[in-house]
């Protein structure tokens, strides 16, 4: 049931009661770049890539309720430049080597970089020391690619009921950890069918023996760019 409309980049977008600006936009097939949003979880606005201007004020579109008569700006040079900078920061804060990553062509971070016209990192890479955890028989955990979206944390706690993952530290030291005394994934109850394995938007949580199973040209974002894919996804978003 439509509750009203707001204006997004000059286009009237209908919304239903309880929808955020991002949810209403995606439901109307209007793509707003985002990384930490997932349609199955309550938005918490951690990545800020979905920031728009609402009546002239910067706000996270994933947490801002849609209201009648709002004037929303999203696809502008100023806003896209800010988004591009945020994505560039994420690339240099981790160790992202897209050509050798099993998630290449299916990675939300990579696809968002393409959509925003990112051609190089701009900033000096930090090259953090993040060892790979191969202790689990079926799942590889590569901390190098983590963007701190918290989707695996929330999925493991809220859906799987296992709380396998958590974030530790603050600021530049903030990082993903495994909730086990040993700190190893193999000492948890994580299984390949868990929601936490499914929701990772990058290449952190990988199923073993499935690497590079889709040839170039047939991967998700080879077939359709992220703006086309996300706008057409059920309930919106890029799960």
Structural domains in the chain plus CATH codes: 4-76+226-232 (3.10.20.740)
Residue 90 pLDDT more than 80? yes
Taking 90 as the threshold, does the pLDDT of residue 236 lie above it? no
Going by pLDDT thresholds of 50, 70 and 90, the confidence category of residue 235 is low
What pLDDT was estimated at residue 159?
96
User: What does the alpha-carbon distance between residue 9 and residue 195 come to, in Å, rounded to a whole number?
Assistant: 35
Predicted confidence band at 1 (pLDDT cuts at 50, 70, 90)?
low
Alpha carbons within 13 A on the beta-carbon side of 139: 21
CB atoms within 10 A of CB 50: 25
- pLDDT value of residue 172: 85
The mean pLDDT of the chain is 93
Query: Helix 108-115 and helix 77-93: axis angle, to 10°?
Result: 140
Lowest mean pLDDT among 55-59, 119-123, 153-157, 196-200: 119-123
pLDDT digits (tens, 9 = 90+) for 6-43: 999 999 999 999 999 999 999 999 999 999 999 999 99
Residue 229 is predicted with a pLDDT of 81
The pTM is what? 0.93
The token pair at 167 is 């974030």
The CA-based angle 35-38-39, given to 5 degrees, is: 145
How confident is the model over 148-166, as a mean pLDDT? Answer: 97
Q: How many CB atoms lie within 10 A of CB 220?
A: 16
In angstroms, the CA 87 to CA 197 distance is 23
Residue 106: per-residue pLDDT: 95
Confidence of residue 119 (pLDDT cuts 50, 70, 90): confident
Q: Higher-confidence residue: 119 or 221?
A: 221
In this prediction, residue 118 has a pLDDT band, given cuts at 50, 70 and 90, of very high
């Amino acid at each position: 049931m439509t509750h009203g409309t707001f204006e997004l980049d000059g286009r009237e977008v209908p919304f239903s009661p309880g929808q955020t600006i991002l949810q209403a936009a995606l439901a109307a097939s209007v793509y707003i770049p985002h990384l930490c949003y997932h349609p199955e979880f309550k938005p918490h606005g951690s990545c800020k890539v979905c920031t728009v201007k609402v009546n002239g004020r910067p706000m996270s579109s994933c947490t801002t309720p849609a209201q009648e008569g709002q004037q929303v700006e999203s696809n502008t040079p100023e806003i896209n430049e800010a988004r591009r900078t945020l994505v560039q920061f994420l690339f240099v804060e981790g160790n992202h080597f897209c050509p050798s990553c099993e998630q290449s062509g299916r990675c939300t971070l990579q696809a968002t970089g393409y959509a925003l016209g990112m051609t190089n990192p701009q900033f000096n890479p930090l090259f953090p020391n993040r060892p790979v955890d191969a202790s689990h028989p079926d799942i590889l955990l590569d901390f190098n690619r983590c963007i701190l979206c918290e989707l695996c944390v929330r999925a493991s706690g809220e859906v799987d009921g296992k709380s396998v993952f958590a974030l530790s530290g603050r600021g530049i030291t903030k990082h993903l950890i495994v909730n086990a005394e040993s700190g190893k994934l193999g000492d948890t109850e994580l299984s390949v069918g868990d929601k936490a394995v499914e929701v990772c938007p990058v290449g952190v949580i990988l199923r073993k023996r499935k690497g590079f199973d889709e040839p170039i040209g047939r991967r998700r974002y080879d077939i359709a760019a992220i703006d086309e894919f996300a706008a057409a996804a059920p309930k919106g978003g890029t799960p």
